[in-house]
A and B are shown apart, each in its own frame.
Chain A
Amino acid sequence: MTPTRRKPPRVGDGPIIRRVLIGATLFFGAILVLAPLIVIAVEAFSQGLKVYAATIAHPDTGHAIYLTVATALIAVPANTAFGLAAAWAITKFDFWGRRVLLVVIEIPFSISPIVAGVAYLFVYGLQGLFGPMLESADIKILFALPGIVLASMFVTAPFVARELIPLMQAQGRDLEEAATSLGASGWRIFFSVTLPNVKWALLYGVVLCNARVMGEFGAVSVVSGNIRGQTNTLPLHIELLYHDYQAAGAFAAASILATLAVVTILAKVGLERRGAGRRPALGSAAKEQNTGTRT
Chain B
Amino acid sequence: MKIRLEQVVKTFDTFRAVHGVSLDIESGQLVALLGPSGSGKTTILRMVAGLEYADGGHIYFGDQDATDIPVRDRGVGFVFQHYALFPHMTIAENVAFGMKVSKTRRSKPEIATRVSELLRLVKLEGLGDRFPGQISGGQRQRVALARALAVDPKVLLLDEPFGALDANVRRDLRRWLREIHDELGITTLFVTHDQEEALDLADRVVILNEGKIVQEGKPAEVCRHPGSAFVMQFLGDVNKFPGVARDGLVFIGETATGIAFSEDGPVDVFVRPRDVIWEKDAGGIPVDIERILHRPDGLTAVGTTKDAIRVEFEIPEQAEPDLSRGAGIILRNAQVFPRGVKSSARVGP
Which positions in A face B, CB cutoff 8 Å?
A: 174-175, 177-185, 188, 192-193, 196-197, 282, 284-295
Contact = CB atoms under 8 A, between A and B. Distances in A.
Given A181-B76, A288-B137, A288-B164, 17 more contacts: A175-B84, A178-B84, A179-B101, A180-B51, A180-B71, A181-B77, A181-B78, A182-B147, A183-B72, A183-B101, A197-B88, A284-B133, A285-B85, A287-B82, A294-B193, A295-B36, A295-B37
Contact of A175 (B78, B86, B98): B86
B97 A286 contact: no
A135 B302 CA distance: 89
B83 to A, nearest CB: 5
B349 to A, nearest CB: 12
A182 B98 contact: yes
Contacts of B151: 182-183
A285 B103 contact: no
Contacts of B85: 178, 285
Interface in B80-96: 80, 82-88
B166 A184 contact: no
A178 B326 CA distance: 58
A196 B84 contact: no
B132 interface: yes
Nearest to A186: B72
Contact of A285 (B70, B133, B194): B133
B165 A184 contact: no
Contacts, number: 99
Given A184-B72, A188-B101, A197-B88, A174 B163 contact: no
Chain B CB within 10 Å, residue with most, of A178, A286, A291: A178
Given A179-B97, A181-B51, A288 B72 contact: no
Interface string B145-179: 00110110000000000011111001000000000
Contacts of A286: 82-84
A174 B164 contact: no
Interface of B: 36-37, 49-51, 70-74, 76-78, 80, 82-88, 97-98, 101-103, 132-133, 137, 140, 144, 147-148, 150-151, 163-167, 170, 193-194
A185 B100 CA distance: 12
A184 B83 CA distance: 18
A65 B167 CA distance: 64
A196 B164 CA distance: 25
B82 A174 contact: yes
A198 B194 CA distance: 35
A22 B49 CA distance: 57
A196 to B, nearest CB: 4
Given A285-B82, A295-B193, A183 B102 contact: yes
Contacts of A284: 87, 132-133
17 contacts: A175-B84, A177-B51, A177-B84, A178-B78, A178-B80, A178-B144, A179-B86, A180-B51, A181-B50, A182-B98, A183-B72, A184-B72, A285-B82, A285-B83, A292-B166, A292-B167, A293-B163
B83 A183 contact: no
B91 to A, nearest CB: 12
Contacts of A178: 78, 80, 84-86, 144, 147
